[in-house]
Amino acid sequence: MALADITTPSQETEQASVQGSGWRRSLLIAVPYIWLLVFFLAPFVIVLKISLSDVVLARPPYFPTFDISEGWQGFVAMFQAFDLENYVWLTEDTLYLKSYLSSLKIAFISTMIALVLGYPIAYALAKAPKEWRSTLLMLVILPFWTSFLIRVYAWIGILKKEGVLNYVLLWSGIIDEPLTILNTDAAIYIGIVYSYLPFMILPLYAVLEKLDYSLLEAATDLGCSPFKAFWVITLPLSVSGIWAGCFLVFIPAVGEFVIPDILGGSSTIMIGKTLWVEFFSNRDWPVASAVAILLLIMLIMPIILFQKQQEKQAEASQ
């Protein structure tokens, strides 16, 4: 309390000085806004426009196109040519629904596996002696120094029939004939969990490292066994880290294209792959754009949930 009283006056003067140079503050805030406008909102509007257009054999492969020389008339004509045909098409062919659902399923299961694997790792990191922690944390981040693509390709060498994994398992006598892992769903799960595990570990580590160890002592002192203390103290207090980790894995995993393309089989459909096929193989830009827009809307939901959760957390910790 006393501390808050002391800091308030200095904060007020700070605020006054910031308000004094209002244009500088606006400039600072403008930078990220302009960035988002140029690199997110503008492309989004272009994709939205294409998704409302019709496919044609032309260059570019859609119609109508925006021609500035026709002026206002041309602009109105363009709007009149827009329709929702592509979105209707997405509901008519079950492939798209299947792709979306399959993506959600794969992303969800991968997230759960990453949580189950990541929690003990984060816990061990947080409990490790202080002088070890930064080194161990470095090891978690180290894979990022290699290209994502190369790391995913490397899994082919491990998972294929005559790959490292099968060789070791055969050699040790655990299996008699090589397992088929590559080009199956299992390979996709392995790839996604492997790639996104650090995103699960880091937020979990951040909360677990801050966890007050005396709370666990207090719990055991009051008659709670150490095992139970984990469930009633540690786990509830790391919920914010669990949410953050899950969203950070789930969101990119839903739209994942590279991993299912490289490691998955032809029978696995994910929305990212469907989109790619639509765009490059079918050259149907409008439908591909509609798929992309729907994917974005689908992903915005968990992102909003994530933001809400973060806000709640911030309020609670005040």
Nearer to other proteins, 43 or 226 (CB): 226
Closest CB 316 distance from other proteins, rounded Å? 8
Nearer to other proteins, 228 or 283 (CB): 228
- Residues 202-221 contacting other proteins, CB under 8 A: 212, 214-215, 217-221
Residue 130 interacts with other proteins (CB under 8 A)? no
Closest CB 216 distance from other proteins, rounded Å? 9
Question: Helices H, strands E: what count in the chain?
Answer: 17, 2
Residue 120, Cα to own-chain centre: how many angstroms?
21
Q: What does R_g of the chain's alpha carbons equal in angstroms?
A: 26
Contact yes or no for 291/87 (Cβ under 8 A): no
Nearer to other proteins, 211 or 299 (CB): 211
Q: Is the peptide bond before 143 cis (omega within 30 degrees of 0)?
A: no
Closest CB 3 distance from other proteins, rounded Å? 11
Closest CB 307 distance from other proteins, rounded Å? 21
Nearer to other proteins, 113 or 211 (CB): 211
Nearer to other proteins, 91 or 318 (CB): 318
Residue 242 interacts with other proteins (CB under 8 A)? no
Rounded to 5°, the CA angle 296-302-305 comes to 135
Closest CB 224 distance from other proteins, rounded Å? 5
The tokens for 279 are 């765009």
Q: Is the peptide bond before 64 cis (omega within 30 degrees of 0)?
A: yes
Nearer to other proteins, 13 or 318 (CB): 318
Binding to other proteins by CB under 8 A, coded x per residue (else -) over 298-317, reads: ------------------xx
134, 223, 266, 267: which one binds other proteins (CB under 8 A): 223
Q: At 58, is the secondary structure helix, strand, or coil? A: coil
Cα(114)–Cα(194) distance, integer angstroms: 8
Cα(251)–Cα(93) distance, integer angstroms: 25
Closest CB 214 distance from other proteins, rounded Å? 4
Closest CB 200 distance from other proteins, rounded Å? 22
Q: CA nearest 143: which of 206, 210, 205, 201? A: 201
Nearer to other proteins, 187 or 219 (CB): 219
Rounded to 5°, the CA angle 118-204-186 comes to 25
Please report which helix (H) or strand (E) contains residue 55, including its range.
Answer: strand 54-55
Which residues of this protein are in contact with other proteins, per CB under 8 A?
A: 1, 212, 214-215, 217-226, 228, 233, 236-237, 316-318
